[in-house]
Amino acid sequence: MKITTYLSRVFLVLVTLSTLSLSEDTAREIDSDANGALSVFYNEIYGSQAYLEKAKGYIVFSDVSEAGFFIGGKYGEGALRIAGKTQGYYSITSASMGFQAGMQKYSLIIVFTSDNALQKFVSNDDWDTGLDINIAMADWNNDEELDDIDFGSNMIGFVFDSTGMMGNFTMEGTRFEKITPDL
């Protein structure tokens, strides 16, 4: 009986992620949403605009949706920006398993601080975080200017504008995939 329940949950997550993957926004919608997320980022984090201007590139996922109950997943679509201009569109998909419960939405910006990290990301259409790359998740306080912090990584992730609640202790795999949205 337990295996049947487990398999049905896995099937439900896979169907949900497949459905979400098929509902791509247009390029114009992704760019508009990315601009809105950047505006919030600039207002919430002092020095963030200057920090992104110095970066080799960054990808903006304006609306990442995550949900889970023992088995979970997340999905979002974003724009890769180099020198402030969109150079491509990507989706983020993740599946997880373990102790977790809840739902949340948030914005995510991944900043590439080296040419090597940016090239590695761009040169691979399907990029998994479980391979040999790690993303440092930023931690700062309001007394610091973002430009003064050394995160010690070639890729830094910023999660902001979060709504909902998600608690977890899980094993997770995340995949970034290049997408071609309608204009």
**Is pLDDT larger for residue 81 or for residue 146?**
81
pTM of the model: 0.76
Q: What is the share, in percent, of the chain residues with pLDDT greater than 90?
A: 42
Compute the mean pLDDT over every residue in the chain, rounded to the nearest whole number: 79
Instruction: State the Cα–Cα distance between residues 138 and 52, nearest whole angstrom.
Output: 14
| Residue 44 neighbours by CB under 8 Å, 6+ apart | 160, 161
pLDDT confidence of residue 164: 82
pLDDT confidence of residue 174: 82
Domain that holds residue 103: 2-179
Contact 136, 152 (CB under 8 A): yes
Question: pLDDT tens-digit profile of 54-97?
Answer: 999 999 999 999 999 989 999 999 999 999 999 999 999 988 88
pLDDT confidence of residue 151: 55
Average pLDDT over residues 134-139: 54
pLDDT confidence of residue 158: 87
Report the DSSP beta bridge partners of residue 61. Answer: 78, 108
pLDDT confidence of residue 105: 93
Contact 104, 166 (CB under 8 A): yes
Residue type (1 letter), 122: V
Q: CA-based angle 45:51:53, to the nearest 5?
A: 125
Q: Give the total number of structural domains in the chain.
A: 1
